Amino acid sequence: MAQYARGSAVAVIRLRNPPVNALSRAVLQALEDGLKKADADPSVKAVMICGENGKFSAGADIRGFSAPKRLGGALGPVVSLIESSEKPVVAAIEGVALGGGLEVALGCHYRIAHVKARMGLPEVTLGLLPGAEGTQRLPRLIGVPAALDMITTGKHIPATEALKLGLVDEIVEENTIEAAIRLANKVIGQPLGPRRLSLKPVPKVPNMEAFLDEALAKVKRQARGCLAPELCFQAVRAATQSPFADGVRRERELFQVLLSSGQAQALQYAFFAERAVRRWATPGGASWSSAAPQPVRRAAVIGLGTMGRGIVTSLVKANIPLVALEQDLENLNKGRKAVMFLLEREAMKMEGGAQVLDFHNPARLQFTVDFDLLRDVDLVIEAVFENMALKKEIFHKLSKICKPGALLCTNTSALNIDEIASATNRPQQVIGTHFFSPAHVMRLLEIIYGRHTSPTAIATAMQLATALKKVGVVVGNCFGFVGNRMMFPYVQQAVFLLEEGSRPDAVDQALEDFGFKIGPFRMSDLAGLDVGWRSRKDQGLTGPSLPAGTPARQRRGQRYSPLPDLLCEHGRFGQKTGKGWYLYEKAGGRTATPDPWLLNFLSQYRDTHGIQTRFIDQEEILERCLFSLINEGFAILAEGIASGPEHLDVIYINGYGWPKHRGGPMFYASTVGLPRVLAKLQKYSEAHPDVPGLQPSAFLKKLAAVGNPPLKEWMSYLSQQSSKL
Ligand code: CAA
Ligand code: NAI
């Protein structure tokens, strides 16, 4: 609702719809009623619009987009009504003014903001564009380059930047409402024409067409198949080409195109999925609603390799004092240098920089090789080599040294949390915190509870994720957890496709065209082929422990491809050695080019093993890689390793570069239709009966058999025990 009140000459309209004053139909109606009341009351000389509870408005009610009588064009006319008011209207922006919320403020004649407020037009992130005339007003106010940047990226900008851009007229450090009323009183009687943005011309940019062409190329490059950024661009371009009313018409047309696109639904699903995973629960009955986190005043990170460096950086950025520990001075110095380099770079991006991060202060960041310094920390994150014996040794030591309440976390990417916990005297405080590389950049934190992990430990890890500005997703313990477990069959299929006749660049291209940031072979070259090789040797799948006489392309009765092992045996570890699935300009180089050596090697390999080369089209590449990954997802859900499909989707979007506009693998499966996914898996598993990853999971079969229910109902089809999650 919006509350109307009149004090002296200024009427106050307060948007009220907790928690973020979203502009529901009821709020819009009340806003319109308030404006009409103020207009009709001769004693009212000006109007001030603000939001309840220190927030202006987070925009249209996102849930309303899928409602049968959706909000759609309802907001634009209200914004026009505000602008056409004959009495000055001032927006008092506190907290957030986002999307439709900012569009309301753009309809006002004056905008005043609290210094801590944030503003933005994030519709693009929901697969939409600002559909209440925002694409036409904003460029008129702050110019085309700045407006394009805000509208096509959806970024939130702080009030200080908004002031510099001219988006707000004034910022205040306190009492925004009083300041807005003062401003409203001051401007009573002043001409409103120059304050009506729809009447202003769009400021000229030298060489506008060339500028726009370049901007469009950039938008397309970054969108990677997502429609909304390009349509946002087109709406702003219309503002540069047509009068306001025509621009608004174009904006509406483009909005309708996006609204009915599957991408908008996927992105809105992703928005709510990210919020849903905060409400974690375990099959044992622990949940977010009853578990309380314990404070983390001081932390420690063990191992300053690829992951430890990023984790330290992340903790420093979150203002958590910490100790960083290495095994010897040589590695410590190497790690310290790398951490300092990352922190200097981060500091350069921040206002206040190194001073705010304060990482030269040993009280905040201490480097050591001495385990004794971990005595009083509240939480330790172990990031040493992926080796069970080493991890157990470290956890045993930690449980002796650390204070009783300290939480012991491991960054293992696949190992058994229970086995690691068994080396301690406090398995209830052992938990997996699986960061993704680079750890100071990637948003995902996969949080893995073991058999004995306490609810407090889970709540503390979730709180850590929030403090690090990451998305924490709580999952159960199994080899590879959720993310990597689903990745195994995907990568396996990619390699099988090479055996059968495809090429690394063809497979990568198909998946990158689908929207992945990076295909599986480019990814493997980036991460290093030796990592998986070591793990396969540890598992006895290759190397000296492999029993003599093991067939080259079979392990434990299943199809196996030795191709990645063979590449490693040829010293091809990926980017770090300058060659892997691709060739690079030098060791450590980043420009991948198809390597004739590899293509020749593949063809010899096929000859050796009597494999007939065939052409594999894009459809088969996508189906075999994606459907096998999705199939594993259904198995994970059936086993109760994750509480729901949203968890898998949030993991894939934030940790594995899955295109967000496709909503995550499980949402994607729901859009393809489960019967179709099932039929394709059946077809491929008949052709490859020795590949278990292609055999449809029982849960997928069940869902297809009960008539392909909507994703939100899937979990209700599981047995009682799993659906308790
Ligand atoms: N509509 C409906 N619900 C919303 C909402 C919106 N616009 N914005 C937030 N919420 C809900 C969230 O789902 C969440 O609900 P639950 O507690 O039930 O999970 C609750 O409000 C609080 O949100 P957050 O947990 O995200 O709180 P936060 O403090 O971390 O972030 C925020 C607050 C920055 C406003 C963030 O919620 C956000 O970015 N919201 C979306 C803003 C947005 O995209 N607005 C554009 C809408 S589209 C539009 O306006 C279109 C148009 O022109 C036609
Ligand atoms: P890394 O090899 O780059 O670094 C490991 C570091 O641990 C080295 O600096 C080493 O000196 C140090 N170390 C070894 N023994 C130690 C000891 N006893 N005490 C203190 N330090 C010791 O390894 P990386 O890649 O950082 O991996 C670390 C962990 O993170 C592994 O468990 C790995 O599986 C996991 N992981 C790795 C990811 C990646 O992309 N590299 C992604 C997610 C998880």
Whose C-alpha lies nearest to ligand 2, atom 39? Answer: 437
Among the CATH numbers 2.60.40.10, 1.10.1040.10, 3.30.530.20, 1.10.1840.10, which is that of 502-608?
A: 1.10.1040.10
CA distance 602 to 551: 18
Token pair, residue 668, equals 């994607």
Ligand lying nearest the CA atom of residue 56: 1
Is the shortest distance between the CB of 489 and ligand 1 below 6 Å?
Answer: no
Rounded to an integer, what distance in angstroms lies between the CA atom of residue 28 and that of residue 502? 56
Closest CA to 137 of 172, 97, 109, 95: 109
Same CATH topology for 299-475 and 618-724: the answer is: no
Question: What is the rounded distance in angstroms from the CA atom of residue 32 to the CA atom of residue 52?
Answer: 17
CATH number of 618-724: 1.10.1040.10
Closest by alpha carbon to 301, among 483, 475, 433? 433
Task: Supply the residue whose CA is at minimum distance from atom 38 of ligand 1.
Answer: 58
Q: Is 524 in the pocket of ligand 2 (CB under 6 A)?
A: no
- What residue owns the CA closest to ligand 1's atom 25? 275
Ligand index nearest the alpha carbon of residue 271: 1
Per-10-residue mean pLDDT, the chain, length 725: 76 96 94 96 96 96 70 83 97 98 98 98 97 98 98 97 98 97 96 97 94 97 94 98 97 95 96 97 95 98 96 97 98 98 92 79 95 97 95 98 97 96 98 96 98 98 98 97 98 98 98 95 94 90 92 95 98 97 96 97 97 97 98 98 98 97 98 98 97 97 97 90 43
Q: Which atom of ligand 1 is nearest to the CA of 19?
A: 21
Non-local CB neighbours of 370 within 8 Å, separated by 6+ positions: 325
- Ligand 2 atom at minimal distance to the Cα of residue 309: 26
Positive or negative CA dihedral for 670, 674, 678, 684?
A: negative
> Angle between the 227-241 and 244-259 helix axes, to the nearest 10 degrees?
170
- Tell me how far the alpha carbon of residue 660 lies from the centroid of ligand 2, in angstroms: 29
Residue 198 is encoded by which pair of tokens?
């729809």
Angle between helix axes 618-639 and 645-655 (nearest 10 degrees) is 130
Residue 462 CA to its chain's centroid (Å): 16
Q: Which two tokens stand for residue 437?
A: 């590389």
Out of 413, 440, 651, give the residue to mutate to test ligand 2, the one with the largest number of ligand atoms within 8 Å of its CB: 413
Q: Is 79 touching ligand 1 by the criterion CB < 6 Å?
A: no
Q: Is the peptide bond before 438 cis (omega within 30 degrees of 0)?
A: yes
Three-state SS at 597: helix
Is 306 a pocket residue for ligand 2 (Cβ < 6 Å)? yes
Distance in Å, CA 122 to ligand 1 centroid: 10
- Distance CA(144)–CA(185), nearest Å, equals 32
Instruction: Take atom 44 of ligand 2 and give the residue whose Cα is closest.
Output: 413
Q: What pLDDT does residue 133 have? A: 97
**In terms of CATH architecture, what is 299-475?**
3-Layer(aba) Sandwich (3.40)
Q: Report the catalytic residues.
A: 103, 123
Cis peptide leading into residue 19 (ω within 30°): yes
CB 586 within 8 A of CB 566: no
> How many residues does the structure list for the chain?
725
Asked if ipTM goes beyond 0.85, one says yes
Q: Which of 540, 530, 513, 556 is nearest to 659 (CA)?
A: 513
| Residue ranges covered by each domain of the chain | 2-259, 299-475, 502-608, 618-724
Task: Tell me what pLDDT residue 71 has.
Answer: 53
CATH architecture, range 2-259: Alpha-Beta Complex (3.90)
Q: 326 CB under 6 A from ligand 2?
A: yes
Q: What does pTM read for this prediction?
A: 0.94
Distance 7 CA to ligand 1 centre (A): 31
Which ligand 2 atom is the nearest neighbour of the CA of 410?
A: 32
The pLDDT assigned to 350 comes to 83
Whole-number pLDDT of residue 273? 98
Q: Vertex 44, ends 40 and 46: CA angle to 5°?
A: 110
Mutate to test the pocket of ligand 1, among 62, 274, 443 (most ligand atoms within 8 A of CB): 62
Is the CB of 715 within 6 Å of ligand 1?
A: no
In this prediction, residue 7 carries a pLDDT of: 67
**63: CA distance to ligand 1 center in Å?**
10
- Ligand 2 pocket test: which of 304, 306, 381 has the largest number of ligand atoms within 8 Å of its C-beta? 306
CA proximity to 446, closest of 420, 409, 418, 421? 409
Report the separation in Å between the CA atom of 320 and the middle of ligand 2, taken as the mean of its atom positions.
21
Nearest Cα neighbor of 271 from 494, 502, 487, 60 is: 60
